[in-house]
Structures are given as structure tokens and as C-alpha cells.
Structure 1
Amino acid sequence: MPDADRSDVQKLNDPAAVSRPGGRVARLRRRRGRRMVLLAVAGAVALTAASAGAALILAPRGKGGGPHRPGAPAPAPAAAGGASRAARSGKVAAPVAPGRLVNGRRQPVAVRIPESAGGRYVLVPGTAAPPRGSRGPVVRYMVEVERGLPITGAEFAAEVHRVLNDRRSWGHGGAMRFQRVARGPVRFRVSLTSPALTDRECAPLVTGGELSCRSGIRSVINARRYGEGAATYGADLATYREYVINHEVGHALGHGHEQCPGPGRRAPVMVQQTKSLYGCRPNPWPFP
């Protein structure tokens, strides 16, 4: 033991010295007490820092570039352009894998549709001519999309035009051909509509936010069905979209509902296939 420390111990053991509160021994005892407290605190801080450093080194790094601490949930990859409005609100729709093959067809991505949107239609600008080589009288039509829906007008209009001018659709065999316009007289309008506005447009028919209808010259396509499909078609959203367009335009062309001709047979396109197949097989085309 160093001399200075031995001397201090002897003085601490001296009853007379201890009995003097203001004496040198009392001051030494107070200093030694403070020194021991400081040493204990410093040791604890050093031990904590060393543990944290080891955890940061051993833990895997998150995809965001920062360290991932053990016990914490792994950080999700940041979306391009920042968090979406749905993510910020905490209401994040389940992701849907694009390009899935169903019935041999590459599927579009399903779109979650809100109950209501802007409440007013926006006419899709531009025109689309019938395909070259098609025959028959020209039928003019317009496409409109309710403001605020998460489906673009250009995307919807392109699908409507493709479907109507398919050889299996209403123009089959040169019966007619379809031209999309943005002005002038038209035979019908194809209108993509939120469930809430569909109920209003289709009244007094009861669509319950689920079905589509014809209302005047409008072929009202319920955006929930177009975006998410129907149980009768399962995961084949691409084929269901063809059905709902052909069915509602069929009403605009003067066709009424039909019945299933028999179990296992192909359903006519004017069967209400969104509600049920009635024992038939699904079919989206007037002339399959």
C-alpha cells in the first residue's frame, strides 16, 4: 500500500481523529467517498458504451442504410418519392403482386377503390379510331371517370376501346365498329364510377355499392368491381373487366338480361355474372 494511503488508513482508525467532525480525517473520508462514487459512475458509463458499440457492430444493417438494433422491427424499404398518403394515415392496403398468371393470362394489379370520390365526372380527352380493316357502321361513344378515383382516365379509356373493338365483342362480323370521341353526339358514355355515386346514378335500381348498371345513355361501371373484380371470376380480374364493359355497353345497345342456358354451359354475356353464374361457366364476350 502506498505511504499516503497507509497514513490515511491509520488516521481513519484513530477514534480521536474520527470524533472531530471538522478535522482532517473527516475531510479525507468525505473526499474518498466522493472519489469512489465518481469512479463507479465512470465505470458504468464505459460499460454501457462498450455494450452499445458491440450491438451496433454485430447487428445487421437495415435497407435504409442505418444500423438495425436487435429486438427492434426491421425498417421497411423507403418508397420512391416518400411515404404515400395511405402510409402516413396508417391505413395501408395490402400489396398486390403484379403480373400474376391466372387462366393463362397476365393479370393487372388490383386497385383498392374508396367508397366515394369527387362526385363529378371528368371526360377523358382525345379520340380513338376503330382498328384498321374493321367493317360496319361507326358507333361514337365517350369515356368519363369520376374525379378522385385511383384509376387514370387514359388507362380506363384504352381498355374500353380495346374491348369494344375486339372481334368477339358487339362489332363481331362487321356489325359495327366503335370510335371514341371527346365532343359531339354519342350513342353512349362509359362512366367509371365510385360505389356511392353508382348507387345515386342507378337509382331506383338497388346496386348496393357493388353492382353496375345502365342509366340513360350512361353505362355506369362500378369502379369497385372494375378495380377489384368479382367472386364469380375469382382471381381472373383481366377477364372480369372485359365482361363488365361488354355487359353494360350491351344494355346501351339495347340488349336485356339473359338466363343461363344450362349447367356447365358458357354463360351469355348478358347474364348477370357479377351476382352469380347460375350454374354456367364465366364468359365475357357476346360472340366468344
Structure 2
Amino acid sequence: MRVADAAGGRYVTARGRAAPPPGAGGPLVRYLVQVEEGLPITPRRFAAEVHRVLGDPRGWAARFQRVDRPPYAFRVALSSPDLTDRMCLPWRTGGRASCYNRFRRLAAINARLWGRGSPTYRGDIASYREYVINHEVGHALGHHGHAACPRPGEPAPVMVQQTLTLQGCRPNPWPALTGG
């Protein structure tokens, strides 16, 4: 998926709701999904992928319910590099990262990285997408800091900034595989 530096500059909300998977445990967490106008992915398709990841049993211990209006705990938004930079302020991504902005309650997912992945994932775009959703939603759930690699060769905790470096660990998209 090729993504320009900038797109429409406004978000379109994915319509409809998606219930937590049957048997999911933990607290109910309502979230909203958006896609910047002009990106080459529909809100419906992006929302389905986000919901699949958040409903996976290897993920965060919560029952995630997608909604299309308030109230919600946070938003997950696919954004061009330029909009990601604006939504992440005061942190500057330089178009090379995604972020969670707690003041906006927004996980801004960089669409360029969504489309091509990260060099740390060596071409495994599907796993990288799972990682970036879990990492930024982890911030939304209160995991504000970043983790370090416990030992070289082990799976990286999902809160390591795996987009930028693995610190000697192996890529890992799931919180449950490393305890968060």
C-alpha cells in the first residue's frame, strides 16, 4: 500500500459496532476506529483488522467493543505521516512512527508504516500491524512507558518501541507472550 505524506486531513469514522468475542474476559473497553480521508483503505476494512487484533486471546485482557459514537475510552485512527505528526504533538514522529496521544485519547497509526511495515519485522507486515495496534492500545490502557528487551534473543515485550529497535530481542506483536 503506497501512502503519500499527506491525505485529506480529516477522519472518517467506521460505522457500526462490533461486540467482544464470545468468552472474552476482563473489563469492557469501548473504542472507536477512524481512517483519514484519501488513504487507500476503507474505514470498514481497517476497523475489522483492529477488532480482530484486539479480540485475539494473545492480546490485552479486556473485552473490546467497537462503537461509532461516544462514549468511548479511546480512538484508533489510521493517519498519513503528516496527520500522524500533528495528532502526536507534542511528540514529534518525523513521519517515522505511530503514537498514542493521551490528551486526544488517540492511537494514531502511521499509514505508511501500516502499508510497508517496519525493517525490524523483516517484511512480516501482518505481524507488524498486530504489534503496532497492541503497542499503541497498550498506551491507551495505561502502559505509558516503554519497556526494554529483557535478554537478547527473547521475544520483545509489546511495549518495546519495536518500530525503531528490538534492542536485541525478537519481534513480538502480542502482550500475552511476554506479560505486557
TM > 0.5 fold call: yes
Specify every segment of 5 or more residues in structure 2 that has no aligned partner in the other structure, as ranges.
Answer: none
Moved over 3 A (4+): none
- 1:134 CA displacement: 1.8
| Pairing 1:136-151 to 2, within 5 Å after superposition | 136-151=26-41
**Corresponding residue to 2:87 among 201, 209, 213:** 201
2:64 aligned counterpart, secondary structure: strand
Superposed CA deviations along residues 83-137 of structure 1, whole A, max 9, x for unmatched, are xxxxxxxxxxxxxxxxxxxxxxxxxxxx111110000111111110011122222
- Structure number with larger C-alpha Rg: 1
CA distance in 2, matches of 1:253, 1:262: 25
Task: Answer yes or no: is 1:177 the counterpart of 2:48.
Answer: no
- 1:55 corresponds in structure 2 to none
Map of 1:267 onto structure 2:
156
Does residue 257 of structure 1 match 2:146? yes
Which residue does 1:157 correspond to in 2? 47
The secondary structure found in structure 1 opposite 2:138 is helix
Instruction: Give the structure 2 partner of residue 129 of structure 1.
Output: 19
Tell me the equivalent position of 1:238: 126
Gaps of 5+ in 1: 1-110
Percent identical among aligned pairs is 64
Greater relative contact order, per chain length (Cα 8 Å cut-off, separation 6+): 2
Aligned partner of 1:277 in structure 2 is 166
Q: How many residues align?
A: 174
Q: Which amino acid aligns with 1:166?
A: D
Q: Higher helix proportion, which one?
A: 1
SS at 2:175's partner residue?
A: coil
The amino acid that maps onto 1:196 is D
For 1:51, the equivalent position in structure 2 comes to none
Bigger share in strand = 2
Q: TM-score normalised to the size of structure 2?
A: 0.94
User: 1:73 matched to which residue of 2?
Assistant: none
Render the CA deviation track for 1:37-93: whole Å, top value 9, x for unaligned. xxxxxxxxxxxxxxxxxxxxxxxxxxxxxxxxxxxxxxxxxxxxxxxxxxxxxxxxx
* Paired letter, 2:158: V
For residues 76 and 122 of structure 2, the distance between their equivalents in structure 1, rounded to whole angstroms, comes to 24
Cα deviation code 1:172-228 (max 9, x no counterpart): xxxx21000011210110010000011111122120111000113001100111111
- The code of the aligned residue for 2:117 comes to G
Q: Distance in 1 between matches of 2:67 and 2:131?
A: 22
